[in-house]
A and B are shown apart, each in its own frame.
Chain A
Amino acid sequence: QKEVEQNSGPLSVPEGAIASLNCTYSDRGSQSFFWYRQYSGKSPELIMSIYSNGDKEDGRFTAQLNKASQYVSLLIRDSQPSDSATYLCAASFYFGTGTSLTVIP
């Protein structure tokens, strides 16, 4: 399977801070990239999708894609305790193992 690598964490940030999540992928042919959030015991749900190089913003979330470096990132601004979850990066339909994020009140 195509590899998608994420820092497994855990990553802890204080409430209100910026959380930065990173991901690299091995398949240069990948055309679509996704960040999913998964709460414990629940199924993954889409946070952001990105298809072109550069930044894409949606509310407190910004996804960044650099195809030359095969790198995808997710920034979460003004982190809230409700953002505490595992964040899964996907290149097409291949997933990383996830980064666990804890936002400390």
Chain B
Amino acid sequence: DARVTQTPRDKVTEMGQEVTMRCQPILGHNTVFWYRQTMMQGLELLAYFRNRAPLDDSGMPKDRFSAEMPDATLATLKIQPSEPRDSAVYFCASGLGQYETQYFGPGTRLLVL
């Protein structure tokens, strides 16, 4: 049963600390998305990659967020320095193209104190 995996599942940190979230897409999927979900804003697109190349990261605060795909089996999202307003659930999703069905990971619940 192929699934997207994300680590960590929960993260509590203090303001100013670096946070790194990891995602393993489903094997064979060439597109990876990062989303942030809050009650107020819903599911916001942060960035997405196709064949490991970043296609759009306009949804990310550039001064503190960065997203990379070091290889086809790993995507990372980093926040440095973290702020309380970054508290949210961060989802990774993968698919066979940016216009195709997305399969979501379980999410990383981030709390910045």
B102: which A residues are within 8 A, CB to CB?
34, 44, 46, 93
- Size bin of chain B's contact surface: 20 to 34
**B45 touches A (CB below 8 Å):** yes
Within 8 A of A (CB), among B10-45: 33, 35, 41-45
What are 20 A-B pairs with beta-carbon distances under 8 A? A1-B44, A1-B58, A34-B101, A43-B91, A43-B104, A43-B106, A44-B91, A44-B104, A45-B104, A46-B101, A46-B103, A49-B101, A88-B43, A92-B98, A93-B99, A95-B35, A95-B42, A95-B45, A97-B42, A98-B42
Bound-state Cα–Cα, A93 to B43, Å: 10
Contact between A32 and B100 (Cβ–Cβ < 8 Å)?
yes
Chain A positions 68 through 89: 1 when the CB is less than 8 Å from some CB of chain B, otherwise 0: 0000000000000000000010
Q: In whole Å, how far is A102's beta carbon from the nearest beta carbon of chain B? A: 17
Question: Chain A interface residue count: which class?
Answer: 10 to 19
Whether A44 lies near B59 (C-beta < 8 A) is: no
Residue among A42, A44, A93 having the largest count of chain B Cβ atoms under 10 Å: A93
In the complex, given contacts A1-B59, A97-B42, A97-B43, what are 6 additional A-B residue pairs having Cβ atoms less than 8 angstroms apart? A45-B104, A46-B101, A93-B45, A93-B98, A93-B99, A96-B42
- With a cutoff of 8 Å between Cβ atoms, the chain B residues found around residue A44 in the complex are 43, 91, 102, 104
